Amino acid sequence: MDEITISAPATVSNVVCGFDCLGFALSEPFDRMTLRKTDRREIRISHQDDHDLPVDPEKNVAGVALKAFLDRTNAKHGFEIEIMKRIKPGSGIGSSAASAAGAVVAANRLMSEPFSNRELVELAMAGEVIASGSRHADNLAPCIYGGFVLVRSLDPLDIIELDFPPLFATVIHPQIEIRTSEARKILPVTVPLKDAVYNWSNLAAFVAGLQNGDYDLMARSMVDKIIEPVRSGMIPRFDVVKAAALSAGAIGAGISGSGPSVFAISASAQTAEAVAAAIEKVYSETDIQFIVYVSPISASGVSPI
């Protein structure tokens, strides 16, 4: 096989109580990429979208991830990649992770799968670092594995796939850009012990709620005393959007990744649609453009199409 086309899903990371360690895959939106082997050991990139992303492989997230991949192989060939980005950069739903994850999963398929999913997350992290300035895998891991995923440790990388009950996500993406690197600079370096206890108790309870399909426990656990209070100020009308989502019946709601997208999860597609209508109403009262996605949590990550 010399060519493959894949889809790479958007992802929601942090999920309120799991900063830098918890994430899930969405069914919509997703990027599309075609990867071809080239005769020489090189990386060539082209973008079939309007995002004006760099095509220099050393500056492009997918290019950096592919270089990390090639460096771990003896391949005599390289790769040419065509990227059609549908996940807007700076949206908070794992745009850079989709580029990096999509590239390495596609390359792995073209080379008869020398690497495990865990190794692919490790390789893709090289790309994520140039986008966000930090190593984290809470978008990459669900993008590659699908479903709900916990990153217990980065070094060594330890990824746990979680069971989860039927869940539907509503995501509103206000059309403003927040760079992850900027959204990380404003975070506290130290936190009071009582806030840390509050957060890790809730993360553990949320995971128990997921495993047991206990929506009420999940709802009680989607709280955060450390990150959300600092970052929410960067998102116009965040508190109103969150309150509207909860009033419409969402299990919980919060900032998707580093924002500006705000997500909610619901137990049914019908509630997720009602949440969409409620939060659309909030943003319709502003002059900020927005896009809303309603999608089931996807059990699959990057997949051939």
Determine if 99 is a binding residue for ligand HSE (CB under 6 A): no
13 contacts ligand HSE (rule: CB under 6 A): yes
The residues, ordered by sequence, that sit 6+ positions from 74 with a Cβ below 8 Å of its Cβ are none
C-beta separation of 53 from 89 below 8 A: yes
User: Is residue 11 flagged as an active site residue?
Assistant: no
Side-chain-side CA neighbours of residue 125 (13 Å):
18
Q: Which of 7, 14, 170, 261 contacts ligand HSE by CB under 6 A? A: 14
Q: Return the number of the residue (154 or 217) whose C-beta is nearest ligand HSE.
A: 154
Q: Which is nearer to ligand HSE, 20 or 273 (CB)?
A: 20
Q: Which stretch binds ligand HSE (CB under 6 A): 101-109, 151-159, 178-186, 262-270?
A: 178-186
Rule CB under 6 A: choose which of 47, 136, 173, 242 binds ligand HSE. Answer: 136
Q: Measured from the CB atom, is 178 or 278 closer to ligand HSE?
A: 178
Q: Alpha-carbon distance 179 to 194, whole Å?
A: 29
Binding mask 103-132 for ligand HSE (x = CB under 6 A): -----------------------------x
Q: Does 7 bind ligand HSE (CB under 6 A)?
A: no
Look up residue 55 and give its DSSP letter.
-
In sequence order, what DSSP letters do the residues of 275-291 get, joined into one string?
A: HHHHHHHHHHTSS--EE
Shortest distance in whole angstroms from residue 273 CB to ligand HSE: 27
128 is catalytic: yes
Nearest C-alpha neighbor of 159 from the set 169, 167, 168, 149: 149
- Single residue of 184, 220, 225, 237 touching ligand HSE by CB under 6 A: 184
- Residue closer to ligand HSE by CB (options 27, 132) is 132
Which positions from 139 through 158 interact with ligand HSE, judged by CB under 6 A?
Answer: 139
User: Based on CB atoms, which residue is closest to ligand HSE, 8 or 183?
Assistant: 183
What is the number of the residue whose Cβ is closest to ligand HSE?
257
φ, ψ of residue 286 in degrees (nearest 5) = -110, 175
Q: What is Dmax (Cα atoms) for the chain?
A: 58
The order of strands in the sheet holding 290-296 is: 252-255, 262-266, 168-174, 290-296
In contact, 45 and 57? CB cutoff 8 Å: yes
Is position 199 an interface residue for ligand HSE (rule: CB under 6 A)?
no
CA atoms within 13 A on the CB side of 24: 29
Which amino acids are annotated catalytic? 128, 180
- Residues forming the site for ligand HSE (CB under 6 A): 13-14, 19-20, 132, 136, 138-139, 180, 183-184, 257-258
